[in-house]
Structure 1
């Protein structure tokens, strides 16, 4: 059975305490961005949303994907919430830097909801 791109790129969401973790994967582009945007909109309707968007398995992001992240950030800020992006891929980091967005987001290198071993 072959999975469609829509199914393969469907966000996985889990809740850890008050934090909603959205795991994205594959390509975030003009084909997948609308569905991801709708999903993130549904998670940012309440006051003080606490959201982590995990981009560790994202292979590519274009301006449509960056726009989705900016929209989520704006919605979360308007509701006095918090947003963190988990970014480990140097290509994603470089894309964000070129777009002038690296300093705009709280970017971390691992999921803050997962305890680190000492």
Structure 2
């Protein structure tokens, strides 16, 4: 039986998958959750050649604080050297990402496998 690593916070679990650091956001991503997540997000995106996936599959609520986290990650991972993927299939969250234009900068994938199967499908230019 395999066990994944325990969550770092109530709202975040971090693990490695196929050479990428996966930040799995969980529960309600609001201003309090964002404060817990920022240090871990910054650590995962610190290297110029960072390979990061932000997985929103287990998110139940996502507000502008969550959007700020995604924009922060996009700004910290340069497209020319790093890789940043987003996993999101929730219709309301996807709608918010489309309205804000974030889907153009960070095209969402429906599953973690889909994000990691296509190495060329990364975030676009800022």
Q: What is the TM-score when the length of structure 2 is the normalising length?
A: 0.77
Aligned equivalent of 1:49:
50
Find the aligned partners of 2:52 and 2:104 in 1 and give their Cα distance. 18
Find the aligned partners of 1:7 and 1:62 in 2 and give their Cα distance. 18
Unaligned runs of 5+ in 2: 1-7, 118-126
What is the 5 A alignment of 1:81-92?
A: 81-92=82-93
Unaligned runs of 5+ in 1: 1-5
Out of 10, 15, 19, the position equivalent to 1:8 is 10
- Residue 21 of structure 1: CA displacement? 0.9
Aligned residue pairs, count? 109
Classify the secondary structure of the residue corresponding to 1:103.
Answer: helix
Aligned equivalent of 1:109:
110
Classify the secondary structure of the residue corresponding to 1:77.
Answer: coil
Aligned equivalent of 1:3:
none
CA deviation vs aligned residue, 1:1-50 (integer Å, no higher than 9, x gap) = xxxxx9532x1111124211111111111111122111100111123111
User: Alpha carbons of 1:28 and 1:21: their partners in 2 closer, same or farther (altered >3 Å)?
Assistant: same
CA deviation vs aligned residue, 1:50-79 (integer Å, no higher than 9, x gap) = 111110011111111101110011101178
Aligned equivalent of 1:75:
76
Tell which has more relative contact order, 1 or 2 (C-alpha 8 A, sep 6+).
1
- Residue 104 of structure 1: CA displacement? 1.4
Q: What is the TM-score when the length of structure 1 is the normalising length?
A: 0.82
After superposing on structure 2, the runs of 4+ consecutive aligned residues of structure 1 that deviate more than 2 Å are: 112-115
